[in-house]
Structure 1
Amino acid sequence: MRRIIDYNELWKLSVSRRPSFFEDEADPGSVWDMRADNYVESGEGNYSNTLKEVELLNLSSGDTVLDVGAGTGRLTVPIAEKVSFVTAVDPSARMLYYLRQNMIKAGLKNARCIQKRWEDVCLKRDFDLHDVVISAYSMGYYDAEWALDKLNRASRRDVYIFWFAGERIKEKIRAYIAEEKGVRYIRSPHYPDYICLLNVLHDMGIFADVKIIENEWVYKYNSIEEAVSSAVVNKVISGDEKVYAKKYYSDLLEESSGSYYMKETTKQALISWRK
């Protein structure tokens, strides 16, 4: 049947409208190197979300798992506690440094790190196929169909993708700043949510399952200024919007024992299929 909508082309159009997309895509390792320290410091209170996500995976003690876009090992480490071996792929040297440190802290030795973009990985040459393949909030590719196909080909059995469902956290601060400026709020271009990926898979002949989960994220900062700097580093706001962001965080952050905390509840989707 002829497609009425080509969802992969819709994905490409959406992501190409993001102001920094092609700059970030050219060297994602450097981009995440710059964000790594901030990522670790501000997100250390989210382990309960990680455990919830790991429990949703069908894992056995003899499994091998490929974690694509592994970052600091948020999922790699607790998964390594449950399976035979994990391969973690990420373009950022700094992120993988933290992953290795987290493995050491956990007393685990059954994981290896490969510093490469997913685009540059050669299946069956860089590593063998794995029983389970996971991509957690790492589908930041221009061509979703290509990335999904490669994830599928890398797996012997199951593929799991965590992705966003509905409004992102950053939209709230963007709306606030627009109101303070007295201008019309226009949603910033970003990746489509899970429903687009689901339709891309459908067009590929992969009929995936979907589970919507709700997570509460806790962000910790040493000061309001650090929260503002974090928003700049992560390209949520521009440098000339700091004064608005400082007011936003002053009203929102809760102080406790000299630290500042922000809590946000968001919905995510777990897309999965068995080969």
Structure 2
Amino acid sequence: MRFGNVFMGRIIDYNELWKLAVRKRYSMEFQEDAGCIWDKRADYYDSSVHENYKIALLDTELLDLRPDDTVLDVGAGTGRLAVPIAKKVKYVTAVDSSARMLMYLRDNMAEANLSNCRYVQKKWEDVCLKKDMSPHDVVLSAFSMGFYDAAWALDKLHRASKRDIYIFWFAKKRHEDNLLRYVAESMGKKYVKKPHYPDYICLLNILHDMGIFADVKIVEYDWKETFMGTEDAVSKALLNRRITHEERECAYEYFRENLIPDNNGRFVLKSRIRQALIHWDHEGQDYISNFV
């Protein structure tokens, strides 16, 4: 169909928009190998997993998991979801590029007396579906869609599954937004969000363009982070590249104002987070892969 001289087909290529955002983010923030980056953050992430374990349990309740299921967790990290999922299914395959993340995951599985997890230390880009693993009943990606080509990654998740695919992703508000706004305003600057991945709407539109019609559910939780003190909070904000060294002093003031002492001599930062759960299954999808 034509309207004037404009072809009314796919006017917006959402996958190309995704690539533009990722390219900008990567050029500003990531100069190291992904595995090395996440190795450095593994201690913090494991602590956060334990602090927010109840949220992980709520997340797993949103998934259709059956006792005989095999589950593939892409970007499993230290096991926020892999551990509670392993309690419900036949076995879990955990894929992550970080050796230290998987070390914590093994320890967390052992602590839970679970032995039904397989570990693959590879980037999702390097996993060969025909050689490294068989298709799993359920495929999961929780905040691990940081790929340059989202359509390619989504297609690979689809091909790795026999039934259901689940993706947890950002729904605009992130727990570090309050810190970043405070720092910018304290420095007399207009608050402009740092380059980040597009939120869940972009992924939904990419899936739609692929011929996959997914469902989405928005959920909100109270999230907390625990620190030894202000210095620890600022150090971890630097480690996770939420702030720069030039923003340290403003970050100190933010944490001094917002950290709440707990009963164990530590300090807690509370925030409200919003996330999206994208889900589709193979039934009724009019999709044929164009990828190798």
Q: How does 1:33-112 map to 2 (within 5 A)?
A: 33-112=39-118
State the match for 1:13 in structure 2: 20
List aligned pairs for 1:1-275, cutoff 5 A: 2-18=9-25, 20=27, 23=30, 27-257=33-263, 258-275=265-282
CA distance in 2, matches of 1:19, 1:161: 21
For the aligned residue pairs, the C-alpha RMSD in angstroms reads 1.3
Moved more, 38-47 or 69-78: 38-47
Q: CA deviation at 1:187?
A: 1.6
> 1:179 Cα deviation (Å)?
1.0
Structure 1 residues 172 and 22, CA, compared in 2 at 3 Å: closer, same or farther?
Answer: closer
TM-score of the two chains, using structure 1 as the length reference: 0.97
Q: Distance in 2 between matches of 1:189 and 1:167?
A: 14
Q: 1:22, CA displacement in angstroms?
A: 7.3
214-223 or 196-205, larger mean C-alpha shift: 214-223
**Structure 2 CA distance for partners of 1:84 and 1:21, relative to 1, 3 Å:** farther
Misfit runs of 4+, over 6 Å: none
Letter in structure 1 aligned against 2:35: G
Structure 2 unmatched ranges of 5 or more: 1-7, 283-292
Q: CA deviation at 1:42?
A: 4.2
Name the TM-score, length of structure 2 as normaliser.
0.91
In the alignment, the residues of structure 1 paired with residue 222 and residue 121 of structure 2 have an alpha-carbon distance, to the nearest angstrom, of 30
Percent identity among equivalent residues? 57
Task: Write out per-residue CA displacement over residues 213-269 of structure 1, whole angstroms, 9 at most, x where no aligned residue.
Answer: 111111000111100000000000012211110100000110123100011111100
- 2:41 counterpart SS class: helix
Count of aligned residue pairs for this structure pair: 274
More deviation, 10-19/57-66:
10-19
For residues 42 and 131 of structure 1, do their structure 2 counterparts lie closer, same or farther at Cα, with a shift above 3 Å needed? Answer: closer
Greater relative CO (CA pairs within 8 A, separation 6+): 1
CA contact 1:66–1:130 (8 Å) conserved in 2: yes
Gaps of 5+ in 1: none
> Which structure has the larger Rg?
2
1:17 partner SS: helix
- Partner Cα distance (1:168, 1:107) in 2: 33
- Inter-partner Cα distance in structure 1 for 2:26 and 2:84: 35
